[in-house]
């Protein structure tokens, strides 16, 4: 967007104090907030982002690098702008860090055009509303909590319930079913997962249509706080400059909030709600409100969201939830029963769950399935205490069908087929609807329950 980088020759000040990732810089003149400053020690480059004006001669900044090697008195230079990344069509196929620098051992991106990672969302009149279902081939999702094309989906769940696996499967589906480009932001999660993803994408040949941006859990809070915005900046670039349909994935959006809270603490702000930063809502909005589709192209986003202590009322979770069109809630009880993906069919929801959007057929089948599963849940305690024989004829039939539906809504995934030994399957929505209708009608009452489990369509059972 802007021209060549500014090469400052004169230092504007020096490092005055260092508190881990927080650095106070004595300088004249004072650089504005969010300005990127740099310093160099023995060929090591440091980047600082200004976050506070302490007084007339000092600013407090967050480092976007490790601070080892940095000393008091180190001269500091002004870059003349906020943190920015190089953008070029060559970004496709690359693995980058928060500065848009290669992590894959390849050449740096061409340094012709840059975009600031902090920017405003497009004007309201440019945004186009989300529309239509984006089929994923994942039965339970397409049926009960469909993804919205150009919308935002959150995958919520506590530790180890399958968020990362689901996001990978979804990436796989998008490459297989829809020819778009994807941008993956690895924010504060396991370093190993980043490596695995890159290798897998390279081996399967899907890397050419993807950009991976990583700032994992070993990075400083400043990096984890900004890396999601870097990834988003690339998604916006692909949308605007190349007019592509972009899928923007993030694992994990909770880590972005957490990094913001660390930064806030380092800056000495008092926490507000339950230990979170007072700026929680505005920080979340700053990221989420930029994920929009325009006339030039659509950005569909899927974000994994860690739920601390499985508590959906956590303020960070609530702040993220309010921005979403679809929320897929992964539950420990489903995972405990071996039902993967561990989507809670009753708690998960989508703005699309409306007769008007889905059409009568899909809506009616989804309602039927939900009613059966809800009734089964209500009766579960009675069944445990008194046994299924005590139920009325009608309830017994509902339970029988619900148990089959529950198993049918599990599905073998491509991305874990090496571990599970079951090949992955993708089921088109019309097939899922036909199968579920069959279950509700009683077509499969005689099929043993375990034959409904971890499979694709029911076609072979007819």
Ligand X SMILES: Nc1ncnc2c1ncn2[C@@H]1O[C@H](COP(=O)(O)OP(=O)(O)OP(=O)(O)O)[C@@H](O)[C@H]1O
Active site (catalytic) residues? 163, 189-190
Characterize the bridge pairing of strands 11-19 and 75-82.
antiparallel
Q: Which residue is nearest to Mg ion (CB)?
A: 164
Q: Which two tokens stand for residue 37?
A: 């400053």
Shorter beta-carbon distance to ligand X: residue 164 or 406:
164
The C-alpha atoms of residue 307 and residue 318 are separated, in whole angstroms, by 10
393-431: burial string, b at 16+ Cβ within 10 Å, e else: eebeebbbbbbbbbbbbbbbbbbbeeeeeeebbbbebeb
Instruction: Compute the residue count for the chain.
Output: 462
Is 299 in contact with 235 (CB distance < 8 Å)?
yes
Coil, helix or strand for 322?
A: coil
Question: Where do the DSSP E strands lie in 54-139?
Answer: 58-63, 75-82, 84-87, 95-96, 113-116, 127-128, 133-134
Q: Which stretch binds Mg ion (CB under 5 A): 2-10, 82-90, 123-131, 159-167?
A: 159-167
411 binds Mg ion (CB under 5 A): no
268 binds, options ligand X, Mg ion, none, Cβ within 5 to 8 A by partner type? none
By CB under 5 A, name the one of 79, 164, 277, 406 that touches Mg ion.
Answer: 164
Nearer to ligand X, 2 or 196 (CB): 196
Least distance from C-beta 236 to ligand X, angstroms?
26
For residue 317, the minimal CB distance to ligand X (Å) is: 13
Closer CB to ligand X, 140 or 358, in the complex = 140
Q: Which does 161 bind (CB under 5 to 8 A by kind): ligand X, Mg ion, none?
A: ligand X
Query: Least distance from C-beta 334 to ligand X, angstroms?
Result: 10
Q: Which CB, 327 or 398, lies closer to ligand X?
A: 327
Interface residue list for ligand X (CB under 6 A): 157, 159-165, 306, 340-341, 413, 416, 420
Rounded CA gap, 396 and 392, in Å?
A: 6
Q: Closest separation between CB of residue 172 and Mg ion, Å? A: 16
Q: Min. distance of Cβ 164 from Mg ion in angstroms?
A: 3
User: Shortest Cβ distance from residue 160 to Mg ion (Å)?
Assistant: 8
The option from Mg ion, ligand X, none interacting with 442 (CB < 5 to 8 A, set by class) reads none
In angstroms, the CA 249 to CA 441 distance is 38
3-state secondary structure of 185: strand
Report the alpha-carbon distance of residue 215 to residue 223 in Å, rounded.
Answer: 6
Phi, psi of 124 (to 5 degrees): -55, -40
Closer to ligand X at the Cβ: 77 or 306?
306
Stretches 61-69, 156-164, 365-373, 399-407: which one binds Mg ion (CB under 5 A)?
Answer: 156-164
| Of 170 and 340, CB closest to ligand X | 340
**What residue 413 binds from Mg ion, ligand X, none (CB within 5 to 8 A, per partner kind)?**
ligand X
Residue nearest to ligand X as judged by C-beta position: 162
CB 18 within 8 A of CB 41: no
Angle between helices 393-408 and 360-386 (to 10 degrees): 110
Residue 340 binding result from Mg ion, ligand X, none, given CB thresholds of 5 to 8 Å by partner type: ligand X
Contact status: 230 vs Mg ion (CB under 5 A): no
- 216 touches Mg ion (CB under 5 A): no
Q: Tokens 């900004």 belong to which residue?
A: 226
Nearest 10 degrees: Cα torsion 213, 219, 223, 227: 20
Span interacting with Mg ion, options 49-57, 163-171, 199-207, 396-404, rule CB under 5 A: 163-171
* Interface ranges with Mg ion (CB under 5 A): 163-164
């Amino acid at each position: 967007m802007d021209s060549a980088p500014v090469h400052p020759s004169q230092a504007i000040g020096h490092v005055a104090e260092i508190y881990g990732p927080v650095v106070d810089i004595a300088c004249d003149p004072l650089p504005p907030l969010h300005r990127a400053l740099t310093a160099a020690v023995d060929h090591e480059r440091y980047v600082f982002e200004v976050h506070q004006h302490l007084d007339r001669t000092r600013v407090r900044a967050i480092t976007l690098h490790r601070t080892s090697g940095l000393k008091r008195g180190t001269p500091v230079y002004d870059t003349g702008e906020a943190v920015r990344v190089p953008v070029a069509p060559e970004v496709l196929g690359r693995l980058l860090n928060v500065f848009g620098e290669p992590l894959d051992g390849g050449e740096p991106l061409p340094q012709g055009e840059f975009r600031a990672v902090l920017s405003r969302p497009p004007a309201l009149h440019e945004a186009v509303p989300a529309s239509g279902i984006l089929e994923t081939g994942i039965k339970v999702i397409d049926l009960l909590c469909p993804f919205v094309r150009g919308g935002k989906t959150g995958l919520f769940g506590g530790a180890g319930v399958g968020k990362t696996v689901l996001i990978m499967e979804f990436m796989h589906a998008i490459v297989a079913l829809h020819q778009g480009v994807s941008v993956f932001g690895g924010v504060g999660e396991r370093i190993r997962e980043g490596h695995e993803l890159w290798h897998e994408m390279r081996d399967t040949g899907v890397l050419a249509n993807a950009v991976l941006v990583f700032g994992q859990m070993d990075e400083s809070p400043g990096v984890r706080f900004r890396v999601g915005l870097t990834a988003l900046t690339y998604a916006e670039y692909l949308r605007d400059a190349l007019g592509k349909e972009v899928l923007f994935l993030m694992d994990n959006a909770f880590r972005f909030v957490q990094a913001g809270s660390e930064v806030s603490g380092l800056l000495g702000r008092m926490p507000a709600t339950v230990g979170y930063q007072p700026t929680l809502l505005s920080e979340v909005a700053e990221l989420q409100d930029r994920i929009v589709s325009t006339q030039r192209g659509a950005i569909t986003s899927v974000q994994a969201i860690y739920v601390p202590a499985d508590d959906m009322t956590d303020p960070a979770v609530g702040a993220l939830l309010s921005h979403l069109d679809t929320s897929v809630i992964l539950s420990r009880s489903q995972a405990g029963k071996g039902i993967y993906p561990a989507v809670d069919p009753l708690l998960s929801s989508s703005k699309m769950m409306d007769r008007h959007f889905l059409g009568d057929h899909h809506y009616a089948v989804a309602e039927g399935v939900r009613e059966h599963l809800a009734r089964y849940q209500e009766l579960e305690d009675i069944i445990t205490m008194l046994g299924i024989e005590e139920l009325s004829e009608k309830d017994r039939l509902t339970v029988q069908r619900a148990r089959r539906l529950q198993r049918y809504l599990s599905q073998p995934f491509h991305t874990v087929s090496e571990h599970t030994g079951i090949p992955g399957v993708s089921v088109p929505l019309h097939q899922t609807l036909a199968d579920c209708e069959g279950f509700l009608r009683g077509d499969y009452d005689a099929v043993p329950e375990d034959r409904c489990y971890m499979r694709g369509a029911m076609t072979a059972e007819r």
